[in-house]
């Protein structure tokens, strides 16, 4: 059964809006950041990673965002272009804003953390009037992420993008991407997350992220069914709730829940899993696959990325994911 209908006559398969930043991943594995001396630079930010992932999967992709007028901003812009992503609505800020930085610490495959620098960053200065209605009208799917809702004017820019998408019949995806250090309070976060989620067809997040959204709700047992049912009363057709190593569950408006097997991975770090999962899952939806197959494809994509040092650079192609699944099914890959 197909839960989402896309409009193939539109020229862009996928458009994302939001955070563009730099990941500086520790080169010294199994060492605390205090002792880490070198890092490797990559393009980062959840919506950017997902857009890169979709482009690697052969989807016609564009991005809406703002970069700083500095070396890092130019690096991001060139990287997006080199990966075949349309940058007509990636604008440069000239107010001396900076590029956000994310330093990663890899103490062990299961003990990873991120140190973020997000003061006066360019991506949060995107204004509503800078969002291209024409570009969104040409999209089959628009993805927003929670980080872009944290501050004005980016917050208003996202809601303007949502309005354009609704006007032009674009499928809306909300990647919750909750980063508490960007927000003023949990109450503020819950209010704006809920306002955005009400408008979206697909909502993807961890159990902890949905818990944060339910700050004012009566869901004390943190039931997935209660969580999903809330959004089906609005626009949602699919709600994916991720439970870490226990896997993900996709709930649909017809009352069904969908699960898929996971795959083994030789884990280097944990971050990037959600972004690569989202790209693989959304690609599967575009192909008209069953939700179970979409979830398996997303899971395999995530395994490839967490087995690598990078996130954006490691986003796999269709053939790489298919080969990974085949090797797992043949018993060639084990943990």
pLDDT band of residue 108 (cuts 50, 70, 90) is: confident
How many separate domains does the chain show? 1
Look up the domain containing 229 and give its range: 14-19+46-66+73-89+132-329
- Residue 228 belongs to some domain of the structure: yes
Instruction: Please confirm whether the linkage preceding 61 is cis (ω < 30° from 0).
Output: no
In this predicted model, which residue has the larger pLDDT, 31 or 161? 161
State the distance between the two ends of the chain, measured CA to CA, in whole angstroms: 34
pLDDT band of residue 335 (cuts 50, 70, 90) is: low
- Residue 235 belongs to some domain of the structure: yes
pLDDT of residue 111: 84
Q: How many CA atoms lie within 13 A of 36 on its CB side?
A: 19
pTM attached to this predicted model: 0.97
Cα angle: 38, vertex 244, 39; to 5 degrees: 5
pLDDT band of residue 142 (cuts 50, 70, 90) is: very high
CATH of the domain at 189: 3.40.1190.20
- Residue 36 belongs to some domain of the structure: no
**pLDDT single digits (tens) 192-236:** 999 999 999 999 999 999 999 999 998 878 899 999 999 999 999
pLDDT of residue 219: 81
- Residue 25 belongs to some domain of the structure: no
How far is Cα 175 from Cα 178, in angstroms, rounded to an integer? 9
Q: Which helix (H) or strand (E) holds 250?
A: strand 248-252
């Amino acid at each position: 059964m197909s839960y989402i209908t896309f409009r193939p006559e539109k020229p862009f398969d996928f458009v994302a809006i939001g955070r563009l930043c730099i990941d500086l991943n520790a080169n010294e594995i199994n060492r605390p950041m205090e002792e880490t001396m070198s890092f490797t630079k990559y393009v980062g930010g959840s919506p950017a990673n997902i857009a890169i992932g979709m482009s690697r999967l052969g989807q016609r992709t564009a991005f809406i965002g703002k970069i700083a007028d500095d070396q890092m901003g130019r690096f991001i812009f060139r990287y997006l272009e080199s990966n075949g992503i349309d940058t007509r609505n990636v604008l440069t800020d000239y107010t001396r804003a900076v590029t956000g930085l994310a330093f990663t610490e890899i103490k062990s495959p299961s003990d990873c953390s991120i140190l973020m620098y997000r003061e006066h960053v360019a991506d949060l200065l995107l204004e509503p009037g800078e969002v291209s209605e024409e570009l969104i009208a040409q999209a089959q799917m628009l993805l927003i992420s929670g980080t872009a809702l944290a501050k004005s004017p980016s917050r208003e820019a996202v809601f303007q993008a949502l309005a354009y998408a609704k006007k032009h019949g674009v499928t809306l995806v909300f990647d919750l991407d909750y980063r508490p250090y960007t927000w003023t309070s949990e109450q503020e976060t819950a209010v704006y997350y809920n306002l955005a989620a009400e408008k979206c067809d697909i909502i993807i997040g961890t159990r902890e992220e949905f818990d944060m959204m339910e700050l004012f709700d009566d869901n004390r047992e943190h039931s997935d069914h209660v969580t999903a049912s809330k959004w089906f009363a609005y626009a949602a057709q699919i709600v994916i709730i991720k439970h870490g190593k226990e896997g993900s569950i996709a709930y649909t408006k017809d009352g069904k829940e969908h699960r898929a097997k996971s795959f083994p991975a030789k884990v280097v770090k944990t971050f990037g899993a959600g972004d690569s999962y989202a790209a693989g899952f959304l690609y599967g939806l575009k192909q008209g696959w069953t939700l179970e197959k979409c979830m398996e494809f997303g899971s395999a994509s995530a395994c490839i990325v967490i087995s690598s040092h990078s996130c954006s650079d490691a986003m796999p192609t269709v053939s790489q994911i298919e080969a990974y699944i085949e090797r797992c099914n043949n018993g060639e890959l084990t943990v």
